Structure 1
Amino acid sequence: MKLIRKSSFFMLILMTIASCTSEKSLSVEVYETSESGHKLTLISEFSKMDSVSTIILDPEKKYQTISGFGGAFTESSAYLLNKLSQQNRDTILKAYFAKDGANYSLTRTHMNSCDFSLTNYSYTPVAGDKELKHFTIQEDKDDLIPMIKDAMAISEDGFNIFASPWTAAPWMKDNNNWVGGKLLPEYYDTWALFFSKYIDAYKAEGIEIWGFTVENEPHGNGNNWESMHFSPKEMTDFVEFHLGPKLEADGYGDKIILGYDQNRAGLKEWVDEMYRDENSSKYFDGTAIHWYESTYDYFPEALQYAHNKAPDKYLIETEGCVDSEVPKWQDDAWYWRKEATDWGWDWASEKEKHLHPKYAPVNRYARDIIGCLNNWVDGWVDWNMVLDTQGGPNWFKNWCVAPVIVDPEKDEVYFTPIYYTMAHFSKYIRPGAEVIDAINSDKDLMVTAAKNPDGSIAVVIFNEGKEMKNFDLNLGEVSKNITISPQAIQTIVINN
């Protein structure tokens, strides 16, 4: 529950009264994904239990407007799709982008190479080319661009794409390396031009870029794969004096610029600097965050602080995945068990170890997305859409899990429970939806709700426990008694 949205004792009394006096039945559709085997399954039969909790919806109390949900177009994912049969390629892209699939609405891609590329590459291959006369996106034309175009052709509602650089070409950096180092001041204008050139090049391919994050993980990644370091002041100066004015001058002042783009515990120092004054704030459209600081904690205080610092700006989770893990093939049960690790399991300092226990992949996604939505986050973007049975390909061998796993040698596809978990949000909470108040009397359930532009209301409920739960869902004078399975995520759709 949002820190500023705690219910009072009076509201709890109202909840009890509502559950006892409502006689009309609320018309709903209930979809459930569960450890017991449901996969976005439509549920229509409910058994009222002795212990009944209450959820009261208040559409008049509105919070942030949703920008979207989705995943990332990476070279690794695109390469794998090209190795599958046309039928399986189409199946995956339709599952993500079709209206009867997850219907992704907000996506990310990388500029230059990243860890989930096959090799290191840059769009600026000629050293010293300050005017970027040799700029080329040729590396993207075999795999990445065809994947994006095919997704665009499938999507009826369309989706936004924002792009993130992991690093400039080594020749622009103080360490002349793909990994680590900083952008040399003499190339700040060149690097700003790089963003404008990228928009032009992708537009020529028929792909409109919605916006950018300035730099993926400006703190770096332990000097393991492509990275380029910025301090909060360095990034803010780059945006205020170089990137923002350049995009404006080239007619791209409407492109979204998101600052930071790393873990949440570091948010305060970044938003304080990004929004230090009117001149810097005017070029930042919002803040980007990742989830790798913990397997379970979504850092509500940090999210609240970032929102309060810039309440009219975007706050988007731009990357999350089950990292440092080889995905389990066709083993749904594993995704519900607390056996997955993350980087912090091995590497976190003693004072941070408690943030990195083993945690079930589905639980991690459901808990984080609901926690984010209940603390002003307006968009949530997963990492790779498709990986292989090793958790790659990845030039650094930084294996991770994706919602869809494929075996290209056997031309086989596995939709993991994470795919269905993402769809519980992306399919039913659409761009332009407004998060609304949902007062929940059961501390063991996580609940969020949003009212869509078409008037429908989507309520997402997560039951992490191993006992079935029963609750009355109340909207005004009508209610519906609903049960949710143990270890399950449920989306309840209330139509007009």
Structure 2
Amino acid sequence: MSLPVLAQSPRKAQVWLTTHGHQYALSPMAPAVFGAREALPIAIEVDATDTRQAMVGFGASITDASAYLIQGLAPDARAKLLEELFGRQGDGIGLSFARLTIGASDFSRSHYTLDDTPGNAPDPQLTHFSIAPNLADVVPVTKAALAINPQLKVMASPWSAPAWMKSNRNLIQGTLDPAAYDAFARYLLEYVDAYAEQGILIWALTVQNEPDFEPKDYPGMRFNAPARARFIGGHLGPLLAARGSSAPLLFDWDHNWNKPHEPLGVLNDAKANPFVNAVAWHCYGGTPDAQSPVHAAFPDKDVYMTECSGGDWEPLRSGGLTLQARRLIIESVRHDARGVLFWNLALDQDGGPHAGGCDTCRGVVDIDTRDGALTRTDEYYALAHASRFVPPGAHRVGSSEEVDGVDNVAFVNPDGGRVLVVTNSAPVPRTFSVREGDSAFHYTLPGKSLATFTWSPAP
């Protein structure tokens, strides 16, 4: 007697969708079914054997403003929000990368550094150094995030050296006085040590946020490539090397795509180069494809996208969700980024608090200080479509280029699962095919929408 042959269930891709205006917001949809389907004019081919960079993760900056707002929530609301942002259970989106500011940024309630002195008197021994301004909010919020996600990688960037170290003796504008190079190097490592004492490991540093820009109303400091190279090669780099494997990584640049000659200037310096681990980029000028030539010239240096804000300006106003997801989650990663950071993790209903700088920015979440209500922004959903499904250690893998406004990036997770993030930037629906190996599915994305597809490899 022969036994009946059981039909094998067709392989399916799970689907989550977010649309412009959030009618659908990370919403689970009906699965897409694999089969012997033909390639469509818009065809995405996924090659899981074409392994690229390992991912560190996706996240945002825990600025002073963000920490102040989150810490100000009622304890239950605060715990629930942090679990949603940094956890992986339930509705958690699993953020695994964060950035802190060393002293004030524009998104602080006042201008300060961690070694301010009376009358800007020199303090080369750093006797006035203190992280006291961070102990009420930045430190407890970051520690709470780490308790939820111990894999969280935390980097840190200064907006200005203390005024007594600068050419103009002011936190606003100016340059770092060469006579203070040694003190500034020790200042950065004093920060690393002080945070370590609080249980927060600073995984990576940059020497200056946006070193090619001198803001007029909040702390900043011009620090061009020749000066950064001298500082890194002769001062900070040797101090990091002396710490061995316990030292934080060092990222150069931390500024826009439109000036790749700046990080190249540091990487071409024989003394500075050995101490630099990666190049960090911002999104406010140029395009993501600037990352790849720099990486190709120095393939031992990693790539990170370390700041991009949401806000009410062009092209964000018209580009919205799909612009942010396409540039940051898809194109930046296709151009070698191992991690992606948006700017403020949280802002209030007025885009603050801030002391100078951007008055049209928005956070990954906006917290209404009048009633505690949360708004999950386009940046939240752009991040979540990657962070929730792509854990640290996943690898980007090969996939087809953009066709007719449909962009994508593909990953293989440590457990072998496949993840594909797709945007349709067109205002009308687009139907496309997705193929891996001998099997494919078809899918139609609404206009101005973002989807994540997950599936298991073929048996």
Query: What TM-score, normalized by structure 2, do the two folds share?
Result: 0.90
- 2:152 is aligned with 1:159: yes
SS at match of 1:378: strand
Distance 1:236 1:362 in 2: 38
Q: Is the 1:24–1:477 Cα contact (8 Å) retained in structure 2?
A: no
Q: How far did 1:59 drift?
A: 1.2
- How big is each residue's C-alpha offset from its partner over 1:349-402, in whole Å with a ceiling of 9 and x where there is no partner? xxxxxxx68533312211212111111122110111110011000011622111
Change (3 A) 1:25 1:394: same
- Whether 1:144 aligns to 2:130 is no
Q: Mapping of 1:115-264 within 5 angstroms?
A: 115-126=106-117, 127-155=121-149, 158-251=151-244, 254-264=247-257
1:314 aligns with 302
1:274 aligns with 2:263: no
- Of 266, 285, 289, 2:281 maps to 289
The verdict on how the C-alpha distance between 1:390 and 1:97 changes in structure 2, with shifts beyond 3 A counting, is: same
**8 Å CA contact 2:108, 2:353 repeated in 1:** yes
Does residue 43 of structure 1 match 2:29?
yes
Query: Structure 2: any 5+ residue segments left out of the alignment?
Result: 1-7
| Aligned CA-pair RMSD | 2.3
Instruction: Give the secondary-structure state (helix, strand or coil) at the position aligned to 2:259.
Output: helix
Cα gap change, 1:442/1:220 in structure 2, threshold over 3 Å: closer, same or farther? closer
In structure 2, how many angstroms separate the alpha carbons of the residues matched to 1:52 and 1:194? 56
Question: For 1:465-484, what aligned pairs fall within 5 Å after superposition?
Answer: 465-484=426-445
14, 18, 21: which is aligned to 1:33?
Answer: 18
Deviations 1:432-462 (A, max 9, x none): 2221111257332001111122211110000
Give the corresponding residue for 2:5: none
Alpha-carbon distance between aligned partners in 2 of 1:393 and 1:318, rounded to the nearest angstrom: 21
Q: What letter corresponds to residue 367 of structure 2 in structure 1?
A: V
Q: CA deviation at 1:231?
A: 1.2
| 8 Å contact from structure 1 (residues 271, 309) kept in 2 | no
Q: Which amino acid aligns with 1:84?
A: L
> 1:364 aligns to what?
323
State which drifts further: 467-476 or 23-32: 23-32
User: Cα distance, 1:44 vs. partner?
Assistant: 1.2
Q: Which residue number in structure 2 is paired with residue 83 of structure 1?
A: 72
Against the structure 1 CA distance between its residues 462 and 393, is the aligned structure 2 distance closer, same or farther, given a 3 Å change threshold?
same
Q: Counterpart of 2:306 in 1: which secondary structure?
A: strand
Alignment partner, residue 106 of structure 1: 97
- Between the aligned partners of 1:286 and 1:442, the Cα distance in structure 2 is 31
Provide structure 1 residue ranges, at least 5 long, that are not aligned to the other structure: 1-22, 326-339, 342-355
* Equivalent residue letter for 2:193: D
Task: Tell me the alpha carbon deviations over residues 417-441 of structure 1, each in whole angstroms, 9 at most, x when there is no partner.
Answer: 3212210111112222221111257
**Preserved CA contact (<8 Å) 1:54 1:441:** no
Q: How many equivalent residue pairs?
A: 439
Letter in 1 for 2:371: K
Distance 1:277 1:227 in 2: 24
Q: Are 1:167 and 1:215, in contact at CA under 8 Å, matched by a contact in 2?
A: yes
- Higher mean displacement: 277-286 or 453-462: 277-286
1:344 aligns to what?
A: none
Letter of the 1:34 counterpart:
T
Take 2:124 and 2:269, find their aligned partners in 1: how far apart are those partners?
30
Between the aligned residues of both structures, percent identity stands at 28
Distance 1:56 1:49 in 2: 12
Cα distance change of structure 1 residues 212 and 71 upon mapping to structure 2, 3 Å threshold: same
Matched with 1:386 is 346
Q: Secondary structure at the match of 1:44?
A: strand
Which secondary structure state, in structure 2, belongs to the residue aligned with residue 33 of structure 1? strand
> What TM-score results when the alignment is normalised by the length of structure 1?
0.84
Verify the 8 A CA contact 1:53 1:472 in the aligned structure 2.
yes
Map 1:4-83 → 2, pairs under 5 A: 25-35=10-20, 37-44=23-30, 53-83=42-72
- Superposed CA deviations along residues 56-77 of structure 1, whole A, max 9, x for unmatched, are 1111112222221110111101
Kept in 2, the 8 Å contact 1:450–1:457? The answer is yes
Residue 24 of structure 1 contacts residue 479 of structure 1 at CA under 8 Å; is this kept in 2? no
